[in-house]
Structure 1
Amino acid sequence: MHKTFLVWAALLGGLAVILGAFGAHKLKELVPMETVSTFQTGVTYQFYHVFALLAVGILYAHIPTPQLVWAGRFFLIGILLFSGSLYALTLLKATETVGLRGIGAITPLGGLFFIAGWVALLLGVLRK
């Protein structure tokens, strides 16, 4: 299981670099600055939790607890919901798509998964 989290961390880390470069260079031509800031928040939190996934993968090799597996899963879901919803909001703004603005309600749910991941990581480390 630890290798799976390391693979996901590598893939999502590379994607964060690509998205961050896009946000820094091209996105400001397409959307207002506050939307660029929203996008950048998604990239930043994706990066933070890529490092959390790396930690989970490395720790699981030494402390294989179910809580660490859940921590990794929660971090992955959190990235998808939190960062993904911010990317989707940016895309909607860039394409001037009407409707679906309620997608922003998903962002706090992603934040809850991030918190659950950190709690599970703590429990997994304390368990051994």
Structure 2
Amino acid sequence: MNANKTLAIGCILGALAVMTGAFASHGLKAHLSSYALSIIHTGVQYQFWHALALVGLGSAMLRFPSRRLGRASLLMIIGTIFFSGSLYGLAITGMKWLGPVTPIGGVLLILGWFTAAWSFWRPDTDSVKA
């Protein structure tokens, strides 16, 4: 994952988080239980925080090109899709089989954070030429 794609995807995920939160608050409020809305709220929060993290990682990659930061970005993107996406699906459809997907997304998010940390801790071992 390169810096520009990471930045773009972070921005897109941020916009989608705002749209999802607004849609849930205004369009779904009358149709979903308060519990289902709280599930969506959790998904939006995680999506938004990781969108901001991706913008940060993309910005860092512009200054410090790194394969590991690219991997960290990819882990966070896939983790956000799994984590938040499964919560949205669970809240809206009630499909219980989506429940086990959420922790997989959470593990991917955690791995993304640790991979980013390792990239900054040991930056010289995986640098790429810009």
Tell me, yes or no, whether TM beats 0.5.
yes
> Where do 1:46-125 residues align within 5 Å?
46-93=47-94, 100-125=95-120
Measure, in 2, the Cα distance between the counterparts of 1:15 and 1:125: 29
Superposed CA offset, 1:15-58 (max 9, x none): 11110111222222111100000011000000000011011100
Which residue in the other structure is 2:122 paired with? 127
Identity of aligned residues (%): 36
Superposed CA offset, 1:98-122 (max 9, x none): xx41111000000001100100110
Q: Are the counterparts in 2 of residues 68 and 120 from structure 1 also a CA contact under 8 Å?
A: yes
Measure, in 2, the Cα distance between the counterparts of 1:77 and 1:10: 15
Measure, in 2, the Cα distance between the counterparts of 1:55 and 1:121: 11
Normalising by the residue count of structure 2, what TM-score does the alignment of the two structures yield? 0.90
Measure, in 2, the Cα distance between the counterparts of 1:79 and 1:27: 22
Normalising by the residue count of structure 1, what TM-score does the alignment of the two structures yield? 0.91
Structure 2 gap ranges (5+):
124-130
Structure 1 gap ranges (5+):
94-99
Q: CA deviation at 1:90?
A: 1.6
More helix by share: 1
Q: Are the counterparts in 2 of residues 63 and 125 from structure 1 also a CA contact under 8 Å?
A: no
> Where do 1:6-17 residues align within 5 Å?
6-17=7-18
Which stretches of structure 1, 4 residues or more, deviate above 6 A after TM superposition?
Answer: none
Measure, in 2, the Cα distance between the counterparts of 1:21 and 1:37: 13
CA RMSD of aligned residues (A): 0.9
